[in-house]
Structure 1
Amino acid sequence: MCHAATRAMKAGFFPSGDESAERDARAVLAPLRARRNTRVIASPARVARETAAWIADAFEIVPAFDDIDYGRWRGLSIRDTGTREPGHVAAWLADPQARPHGGESVAMLAARVADALAFSDHLNARERCIVVTHAIVVKAALAHALGMPLASVYTMDIAPLSATVLRRASPADAWTAELPHASA
């Protein structure tokens, strides 16, 4: 599940990791309230923790589901960064291996997310798991699970509070996906 929107998202800034949710969405998320046999995991980012708290009384924080590290672009205006560093921003948006900001490349993020998904194979098969994370993490998970080229993350649009369901019967089976549907 993609976390709630933040002011930084709406204003066009790279996340800093400490943004809070723009508005309280607990009423909108009431149908997703965690039931018995539901494990809730959140990214360490503040907005992901807040969103997870709206659907569960208790949740785990798993760093593998954290947002991509935007390096020196963290907290900066996307527009201003594009004006100052057009070649670097263009490279980052076109090449999953690029990391001109000094942080993580999309490929590095994807490897981290793939490892986290492998962890889910060890969960009780009857256990439902909700992961509250970031749009780019959901995109990387989809690309990995469906065997899509990593560059496909640049063509996906994942809205705040949307849910994407990944399923497979066992580690030997292929993943299936129910693509994003809005919770809000």
Structure 2
Amino acid sequence: MNFRLTLIASARSSSRLAERFDDDRPLDPAGWREVERVAPSLLPLAAAELRYCSPSARSRETGDILGFMPLSQTSLRDCDMGTWRGRTLEEVKEREPEAVDAWLADPGSAPHGGESLSAFINRVGRWLDNRPAGFDDRMLAVADAGVIRAAVTHAMKAPPHCYWNVDVLPLSTVTLIGGAGRWRLCVDREAQL
């Protein structure tokens, strides 16, 4: 059976310049307004029988504001950034420039003591490939941008370094169709199942 999984990027919890690693802040006022603005176009996605979200506050709030009432999945948590958690990239670069260079160059490295990029992509990929059987073939997941980048990288069987080439804007959608090891990317004109 082919599954149709639509991934919805959570709304923002801070400006791009203030983004912090492994950040679990709730939506900021601009994020709330943006969810309310786009809600009518995302409403058709509520037809999905299975609705999931990353456990972050911003993903849960985005899903709740949209009326999806998604089930939190620990496998969809953002990458564990270890000692870098709560710091911006600029702050880490200032203190640990060699570690940042190593992390960006080698998907298997984890100089922060958390999860490597490869391990993160594999974790999200296992979740993606192990969907339950015996239900409507439509699913949705509200997730942090990094989780969506990891899912697309896994689904396209791209090397881990391609993760950095996937841009995910707040409240954007991407649909993956298929099943374990045989996914294809569907670019929809509108959010629909």
Scaled to the shorter chain, the TM-score interval is 0.7 to 0.9
Superposition RMSD on alpha carbons, in Å?
2.2
Q: 1:1-184 residue pairs with structure 2 within 5 A?
A: 1-7=8-14, 9-17=16-24, 19-22=25-28, 23-24=31-32, 25-33=35-43, 34-120=45-131, 122=133, 124=135, 126-168=136-178, 171=180, 174-179=182-187
Q: Which runs of 4+ in 1 moved over 6 A?
A: 180-183
Contact 1:162 1:182 in 2 (8 A): no
* TM-score, length of structure 1 as denominator length: 0.87
Distance 1:181 1:4 in 2: 20
> 1:130 aligns to what SS in structure 2?
strand
Report the TM-score, using the length of structure 2 for normalisation.
0.83
SS at match of 1:40: strand
Q: Contact 2:9–2:142 (CA<8 Å) still a contact in 1?
A: yes
**Gaps (5+ residues) in structure 1?**
none
**Residue deviations 1:108-154, cap 9 Å, x none?**
11111111012226362x33111111111111111111111111001
Structure number with the bigger relative contact order (C-alpha 8 A, sep ≥ 6) is: 2
8 A contact 2:48–2:140 mirrored in 1:
no
* Ranges in structure 2 where 5+ consecutive residues have no aligned partner: 1-7
Summarize deviations over 1:43-99 as a string: whole Å, max 9, x none: 111001001112235221100001111111111122121011001011111211110
Q: Residues 8 and 14 of structure 1 are in contact (CA less than 8 Å); yes or no, is this contact kept in structure 2? A: no
Asked if the contact 2:22–2:80 (Cα under 8 Å) also holds between the matched residues in 1, the reply is: no
Pairs aligned (count) = 179
Percent sequence identity over aligned pairs: 28
